[in-house]
Structure 1
Amino acid sequence: MTMKDKETETGTETETETETDRLLEALKKKRQEKAVVHFFKDPFGFVRGNPVRLAYISAVIGACLILIIYLYGRAHEGWSGFVAPFDAYILAGIATFTPTALYLYIEDKRVRKANDEFPGLLRDLAQAKRAGLTLIDSVLLTSEGNYGILTEGLRTIAYQLTWGVPFEDALRMFAKRYPTNMIKRSVEIIIEGYRVGGDVGEILKIAAEDVNELRSLERKRASDMSPYVAICYITFGVFLLILLVLYKTLIPMMTEAAKQITGAGMGRATIVNVDAERMKMILFHCGIIQGICSGLVAGKLGEGKVIAGLKHALLLASGSFALFAILKLMPNFLQLHI
């Protein structure tokens, strides 16, 4: 091979590498654009694909709010406006965790809908298989029905089976698409029975009965625990009412008594040192803390998970924040009723 041929070959390889890099860069850019479009079209689907993204979004929201609060505090010395610095940071914290709570709430509703529709899907699939149809025909026939949120996933299984995808792989992809404990448990039962060569129709029937029993137990548990969740809300409301009475009666009475003692020259009594604003702030923080704790307890009692109480915690803490914000902006609020 001559020197000229080597140079030509080297130049060709360089051009090929450059073209490959250009294509990879274009593909990467296209994926980024697709991710942005997906986020605006279906934000919850975008987060569901990788829940870590939600942590990034919440962190950005929190950082922006804290920065705004800090800059506002620097520009307005004394915070004579709506809230004090610490109160503003509490508001920023509530706003930061709101996307997470909203996502968990929507995802929980999605899981419940999937679990509600799953027993009927298994029952119809078992009936079709026991009627003498092949497995593929049974799935194709059943996929024509309406099973709510599971309909699209069932039709995907039907397409996959017609394309030659193994039944086990199609079921695993279905369970990955709807990752509820009930569906994953049933899919494993069906796969194990299918592997050992059992009657698929009978296996599906057993799985449907198992799911029905589990759903019945879950409904009974939810029904039994719902009064305790209501108690958490009621006790928090009573606690807020007590704080309101203290805010509107006890603190003004102590402040007025301190003024009278000071004016009468009765010495340095302890009550003279009453700081009304500090006491109001303590009551406000008590309301926030009680709201967060009551919400987390409500989630644990109602759904068996502390993280499920995040939505309750944010709701109750927001209610407490709103009450004290109204009391600060409108000092005469409920004055005639206390």
Structure 2
Amino acid sequence: TPDAPRSDGGVPGEANGTPARRNFERLAAFERIRWLREWLSNPVRLLRDRPTRLLYATVPLGSLSVLVRAWPHLSAGTLTLRTFDDFVIQAALFVVGTFAAIQYVHRRRTHAIEDAVPNFLDRLASVNEAGMSVVESLGRVVRSDLGALDAEAEKLWADVRWGVDAETALYRFEDRVDTPTVTRVVTLVANAMAASGDIARVLRIAAAEARDARRLARKRRQEMLTYLVVIYLSFAVFLVIVAALNSILIPNLPTGTAAPDGGPGSTMGGGPLASIASVNVKAYTLVFFHTALVQALFSGLLAGQMGEGNVADGAKHATVLLTVAYGAFLVLP
């Protein structure tokens, strides 16, 4: 009959206007604006989890500020390269500095989570050794105090309670935290869970591996501290040399007057020093300024790669070096 119930719970006469179809449309619309709702509800958390998202806002803002500030000078015909440099460097400091602050918060949170992972695995192993299943062990451990891991453990348990299998929930936990230590631990535990429900020994091994990884990371940072000091000292030496050239050598170059004519027997009349009078002192200073800025930016990024193993962590070093370089050239005559 036309109104006979179907196996999917609907009836044939409602093919185009069923409540289920409308619900799916609402769900699709919600998924399209989900990122906006998350942003409005907690923008700090969204940026803390993915610091690179901040660049989507700060880079356009910095570029817009340069255009807005440079436009009156450009319209009046008074825009110089040095003035434009000021606008660009100030915008760059804003972009790099804000990113460095968010990246620092993100890195501190990640380190705190990685420090809490071994304790979490040890507790999980203890409960599993007592005879509980993996799911029951997760439920018991999540209710305890895990420090920085509390929020992520709650999400992990929420996935399990809503019907997600424990292995998939662990992989989703790995995607959220996204650190090498957690990736190795989750891969090891997930493979062990696929083989057996008694994974206490594997959890102990994973906890020991996580502790070893954290210890090696701390040792690496301590050993690389010497190289970070070398980078800062080399940049300071570079600035001292540039300051000496800019304050002592360049101002003493003869400019604005013709080179002295030594007559037919003079060595300067047709030699390479004959055009020294045409040296543009301001151009030399500008070249030194640009060179110092490039040196500061890439030295900072290199310091982050060497010290933390991540170029993004070099943003804080780049901010410090850029500020020092910019301040130094503001002080120089």
Q: TM-score range by the shorter chain?
A: 0.7 to 0.9
d(CA) in 1 for partners of 2:159, 2:36: 29
Equivalent positions of 1:1-338 (< 5 A) are 28=29, 32=33, 38-39=38-39, 42-47=42-47, 53-79=53-79, 83-197=82-196, 199-254=198-253, 257-258=254-255, 269-327=274-332, 331=333
TM-score by length of 1: 0.76
Instruction: Please state whether the residue corresponding to 1:149 is helix, strand or coil.
Output: helix
Give 1:189's aligned amino acid.
L
Q: How much does 1:318 deviate?
A: 2.7
Structure 1 residue runs of 5 or longer lacking an equivalent are 1-12, 332-338
Matched-pair contact (CA < 8 Å) for 2:135–2:160: yes
Please give the per-residue CA displacement for 1:60-103, whole angstroms capped at 9, x wherever unaligned: 223312321431332443347x9422443344344344444444
d(CA) in 2 for partners of 1:157, 1:263: 79
CA gap 1:28/1:64 in 2 versus in 1, 3 angstroms: farther
Matched-pair contact (CA < 8 Å) for 1:83–1:325: no
Matched-pair contact (CA < 8 Å) for 2:305–2:313: yes
Q: How much does 1:36 deviate?
A: 5.2
Give 1:124's aligned amino acid.
R
CA gap 1:36/1:243 in 2 versus in 1, 3 angstroms: same
d(CA) in 1 for partners of 2:247, 2:26: 65
d(CA) in 1 for partners of 2:304, 2:252: 38
CA gap 1:38/1:167 in 2 versus in 1, 3 angstroms: closer
Q: How much does 1:37 deviate?
A: 6.2
Instruction: Please state whether the residue corresponding to 1:199 is helix, strand or coil.
Output: coil
CA gap 1:121/1:258 in 2 versus in 1, 3 angstroms: same
Give 2:87's aligned amino acid.
A
CA gap 1:165/1:24 in 2 versus in 1, 3 angstroms: closer
Report the more deviating stretch, 101-110 or 272-281. Answer: 101-110
Give 1:173's aligned amino acid.
R
Partner of residue 336, structure 1: none
Matched-pair contact (CA < 8 Å) for 1:73–1:85: no
d(CA) in 2 for partners of 1:40, 1:248: 52
Q: How much does 1:118 deviate?
A: 0.9
Please give the per-residue CA displacement for 1:229-272, whole angstroms capped at 9, x wherever unaligned: 12111111121122222222222222xx446x659787974332
Structure 2 residue runs of 5 or longer lacking an equivalent are 1-13, 263-267
CA gap 1:146/1:249 in 2 versus in 1, 3 angstroms: farther
Give 2:199's aligned amino acid.
V
Matched-pair contact (CA < 8 Å) for 2:134–2:197: no
Q: How much does 1:171 deviate?
A: 1.4
CA gap 1:114/1:29 in 2 versus in 1, 3 angstroms: closer
Give 1:277's aligned amino acid.
K
Partner of residue 8, structure 2: none
CA gap 1:41/1:167 in 2 versus in 1, 3 angstroms: closer
Please give the per-residue CA displacement for 1:286-317, whole angstroms capped at 9, x wherever unaligned: 21111122112212211233343233223312
CA gap 1:28/1:326 in 2 versus in 1, 3 angstroms: farther
Percent identical residues:
27
Partner of residue 3, structure 1: none
Partner of residue 9, structure 2: none
Give 1:57's aligned amino acid.
A
Q: How much does 1:35 deviate?
A: 5.2
CA gap 1:101/1:72 in 2 versus in 1, 3 angstroms: farther
Aligned length: 309
Instruction: Please state whether the residue corresponding to 1:230 is helix, strand or coil.
Output: helix
d(CA) in 2 for partners of 1:154, 1:220: 28
CA gap 1:137/1:24 in 2 versus in 1, 3 angstroms: closer
